Amino acid sequence: TLTVGVLALQGAFIEHIHMLNKIPEVKEAVPVRTEEQLNSIDCLIIPGGESTAMALIAERCNMLEPLRAFVQKKPTWGTCAGMIMLAKEATGAKKGGQQLFNGLDVVVNRNQFGTQKESFQTMLHLPEILGEQPFPAVFIRAPVISQIKSDDVKIVGRLEHKHGQTEAETAVAVIQNHLFATAFHPELTSDNRLHQFFVSFALKHKN
């Protein structure tokens, strides 16, 4: 079994904890705000919210370096703003950029759909991780992965998205070794298959 932490500096962390509490392999789902709590968990979820706020709070709580060290070695799943935080590079940030946890070798573009639609829900195919049944994916001012910078990064979810006149495929779910990221909010549905997936993924990459 696993002790799963959910970063609770800002954003939709309670919803993740509720989802995790339904999974038998989860011994405990705990909100994480301190380095001590970070040291007591097997894996971490970074929730959606507002990545600039999350970065500022992490910095103020002296959690930036502990979180950077954590994501280097322990299974971590970033959802939406959490995906931004888990990346090494983000575009679409306010001037001066923002601090990130530097895990995934990708560039994430924030608020990708912001000027067209702030939020939408779609049935998303994630065949490598969930098989045939599509997942009800909720996108709220969501980012996308705009560049992949390492061969270790595997795209496991793509969205077909009308971008002006052209149609571009964009990556909305990736795996890199022990790291998993989704651009959408799986904790806002009643479908907990992705949480189950993350728990088995974390058990596999536990060290």
Indicate which residues carry an active-site annotation. 80, 185, 187
Residue 147 interacts with ligand GLN (CB under 6 A): yes or no:
no
Residue 100 interacts with ligand GLN (CB under 6 A): yes or no:
no
With beta carbons less than 8 A apart as the criterion, state whether 145 and 159 touch.
Answer: no
Site string for ligand GLN, 56-95 (x = CB under 6 A): ------------------------xx--x-----------
Residue 191 interacts with ligand GLN (CB under 6 A): yes or no:
no
DSSP 162: E
DSSP 188: G
Q: At 63, is the secondary structure helix, strand, or coil? A: coil
CB of 196 to ligand GLN, least distance (A): 22
Report d(CA 176, CA 104) in Å as an integer: 7
Residue nearer to ligand GLN on the CB measure, 45 or 81: 81
Residue nearer to ligand GLN on the CB measure, 42 or 78: 78
Residue 42: alpha-carbon gap to chain centroid: 16
Q: Which window, 46-54, 65-73, 172-180, 199-207, contacts ligand GLN (CB under 6 A)?
A: 46-54
Which structure tokens are listed for 22? 């339904």
Give the number of residues in contact with ligand GLN, rule: CB under 6 A: 11
Residue nearer to ligand GLN on the CB measure, 84 or 171: 84
Instruction: Give the one residue of 10, 51, 109, 170 binding ligand GLN; rule: CB under 6 A.
Output: 51
Residue 140 interacts with ligand GLN (CB under 6 A): yes or no:
yes
Residue 44 interacts with ligand GLN (CB under 6 A): yes or no:
no
Q: Which residues pair with 84 in a beta bridge?
A: none
Three-state helix/strand/coil letters over 27-44: EEEEEECCHHHHCCCCEE
Three-state helix/strand/coil letters over 125-148: CCHHHHCCCCEEEEEECCCEEEEE
Report d(CA 55, CA 199) in Å as an integer: 25
CB of 55 to ligand GLN, least distance (A): 9
DSSP 94: P
Summarize as ranges the residues that interact with ligand GLN (CB under 6 A). 48-51, 80-81, 84, 110-111, 140-141
